[in-house]
Structure 1
Amino acid sequence: MAGISLLVFIAAGLLTVICAVIWGGVSLTKPPVTWSAFLDGKTTKQIADSLADTPMPQAAAKLERGLSWLAIGDLGPRVRQGCARWLFLSDELTVYRNAEANALARAAELAQVKNRLASQGIELLVVVVPDKTRIADQLLCGLRRPAAFEHRVDNWIKALPGVNVLSLAGDMQDPQERYFLRTDTHWNEKGAATAANAIAQRLREPGGFELPTPTLHMRTEVSAVVRRPGDLVRLAGIDWLPEGLQPPADMMRPTRFIEIGGAGSGATDPAAKTGDTGDDLFGDTGLPSIAVLGTSFSRNASFIPFLETALGTRVGNFARDGGEFAGAAHAYFNSASFKDTPPKLVIWEIPERSLQRPLAGEPAIWPAVASK
């Protein structure tokens, strides 16, 4: 019976692969296939990745993730569990090869971008978002955050002389507060509002940045409690389970932002309000003179409305989900928005965990800016 079951499973898997390749449009490799790629193992990795996307392996992997969680509390390779069902991204606990060199390479590129922007009369503020594992370290319990990470933000800032950098870690130290969502990689509204206020304070420091005259006046109100599914539950592959079998979701009261004297935005999602790439934002009348680049942090927990409220002016949101260090900047500096109507100020949000990641596959920023 065991042998028959195994043969049936293998036959079913083979059949689904054949159907996916013939009728499902699945390509086993990405052309061109070269001899060097074959020798390096890249071709076989592409085949393995393509096969993993076919129905049978997907269903088996999905079932395995659910059973592993229910049986032994395992969340897979990308997610770790701390105290009180708090979940953390394993990337924030990973020491990368050539970590220091990667961080220094990004610092050098960022310094070049700063100089190029300055030559065009554009100011730059770099904002580093601290790791969730740094701010909520009291909830790590059995998880170990490498000691080498303690000073990596400070060391990176030291490699950026002449660049205005704000680390938000110092503003998120109140032990009585929670600045991040429990089952998500991102900050909650307390974290987003704290970040927005810290940025506004830095921009208003004497002798610092030239800001537009505040013309936007907002009032806020709290909405009803809603369930906030966490991206770490999805990343763990258990979001398909019934809610009662998943880690308890965050419950939150989204803030509504209403413009005083205007129609009011009522926005709780900055992506819905300002868009993610916004190629048309700077072409309109009353265009924003401030552009925000960055990652999904700038598109979550109403960060942009909090920032607009703190600054009293509209902000163009050009952040990108999964943008890591360079994704949003590369796209924006090559966009019509930047070419035709450049801003006066760029706020570049960068997650701490992106600083030392491998450079392979990351788009170059400086050549894009230098071509303008």
Structure 2
Amino acid sequence: MTEFAQDTLKPKADNPAAPRLLHWLPAAFLLAVVGLGAVVTLTSPGFQERVTGKDIITGTWQLSWEKGLDAKVPWRDPSVNLWGSMNYRLFAEARDGALVGKEGWLFTSEEYQTAAGDEAEIAAKVKYISEVRDELAKDGAKLVVVLIPAKARVYSEDLSAQVPAQKAPVYASFRQSLTTAGIISPDLLASFQAEKQKSSRDLFFRTDTHWTPEGAKVAAQTVALAVQELAPDLPPAEYAVQIKPATERRGDLLRYVPGPAPDQVREGEYIRTDEGGGGLLGDETLAVTLVGTSYSADSKDNVWHFDDALSQALKTEVLNAAQEGKGPIVPMREYLKSEDRKNNPPRIVIWEIPERFLRVKYQETK
């Protein structure tokens, strides 16, 4: 059974030391919402509307009516968000899926979860990565694994709940297992810790699971050092970066708690400045391929541009084969069978794997 770290450091409504107001506030809020909701619902068009073409006896009419009512009642979402905000500000708690840290920091519960089969699953990951290394070697390509340390590991000082002790050695032990297997894996944790000592810039978003543009840049520079030792003569490319004005960004963890302020982000726009840049549509061969998760994928929500930061740090254009929402294993399985690999055989494959996915079981790996 999966276990979750509980945020026992925060004042709960059943905490005798908490103000008496907090003991009855949740019930009062619920009664008020239910009472107001009943009045609004009974007078709303959605309540009085009959769904035609549905059978009352079999229940299909009721199901359709409930779905329509849920969409049309105007107070539902505001009440949920209001209670989420109050729960955050009064109890410093989030809904299941996130944990509240200090000074507006939020963390995904995935980084706290443990289960009896974690050790075996992590060992299976090492085995599969070794198989991928061997498959790529058939074409002469070399594999570099970018293990992204958990946000809770990098910013442990901002936690308000204790991470299970068995998770403490995971990052170092996994990298050691890769090294023993002969697989290159740069130490991003050490680079992030060193950057924190000399800079006040956040390397992860406070309200998001992902790294910031600054974190992606530090990672890219660390990875570039390892790649350049393996392949010092990559096809050249030059890049410049223009920093855009600061904007607000609502992180993915705000879905679980609407209280904290959004992050401020200054996105970088990377521009190739030399005469090359044909990519797969021109005569230029791309020697480096990036495979991974949403930390790398080219999507509308990607403001960190890890692929572009890699291209700049490596001084070569990088082919991005990362995918969003599939974890680290599926994109690699699909890349190995893809036209991208067939038409543009790489010399280096960079595989980005977040630490928080190591314990997640994927049937595709079996």
CA contact (8 A) 1:62 1:237 kept: no
Q: TM-score, normalized by length of structure 2?
A: 0.73
In 1, Cα distance between the equivalents of 2:54 and 2:76?
23
Out of 214, 236, 242, the position equivalent to 1:221 is 242
> For the structure 1 residues 363 and 281, does the alpha-carbon distance in structure 2 shift closer, same or farther, using more than 3 Å as the test?
farther
- Residue 268 of structure 1 aligns with which residue? none
Deviations for 1:75-102, whole angstroms, at most 9, x for unmatched residues?
2101111111111111111113411111
Which sits farther off after the overlay, 325-334 or 123-132? 325-334
2:218 is equivalent to residue 197 of structure 1: no
- Residue 330 of structure 1 aligns with which residue? 333
- Residue 33 of structure 1 aligns with which residue? none
2:164 is equivalent to residue 146 of structure 1: yes
Out of 112, 120, 130, the position equivalent to 1:101 is 120
* 1:38-117 alignment, distance < 5 Å: 54=67, 62-63=77-78, 65-73=80-88, 74-117=93-136
TM superposition shift of 1:165: 1.8
Deviations for 1:156-207, whole angstroms, at most 9, x for unmatched residues?
23333112222311100024432111111111111011000000111223xx
Q: In structure 2, what residue type is equivalent to 1:145? A: V
TM superposition shift of 1:355: 0.4
- Residue 42 of structure 1 aligns with which residue? none
TM superposition shift of 1:62: 4.0
In 1, Cα distance between the equivalents of 2:233 and 2:52?
55
List runs of 5+ in structure 2 lacking aligned partners.
1-33
Aligned length: 309
Q: In structure 2, what residue type is equivalent to 1:170? A: A
- Residue 126 of structure 1 aligns with which residue? 145
TM superposition shift of 1:251: 1.2
Deviations for 1:50-107, whole angstroms, at most 9, x for unmatched residues?
99x9455677874564132222214210111111111111111111341111111111
* Runs of 4+ deviating beyond 3 Å: 18-23, 53-65, 211-214, 261-264, 280-284
In 2, Cα distance between the equivalents of 1:21 and 1:97?
50
Out of 234, 248, 255, the position equivalent to 2:261 is 248
Q: In structure 1, what residue type is equivalent to 2:295? A: F
- Residue 16 of structure 2 aligns with which residue? none
Q: SS state of the match for residue 347, structure 1? A: strand
Pairwise CA RMSD: 3.7
Q: SS state of the match for residue 364, structure 2? A: coil
In 2, Cα distance between the equivalents of 1:149 and 1:21?
55
- Residue 346 of structure 2 aligns with which residue? 343
2:164 is equivalent to residue 163 of structure 1: no
> For the structure 1 residues 337 and 68, does the alpha-carbon distance in structure 2 shift closer, same or farther, using more than 3 Å as the test?
same
Q: SS state of the match for residue 129, structure 2? A: helix
In 2, Cα distance between the equivalents of 1:81 and 1:21?
47
CA contact (8 A) 2:335 2:341 kept: yes
Q: TM-score, normalized by length of structure 1?
A: 0.72
List runs of 5+ in structure 1 lacking aligned partners.
29-49, 239-245, 265-279, 367-372
Out of 307, 318, 324, the position equivalent to 1:304 is 307
- Residue 203 of structure 2 aligns with which residue? 179
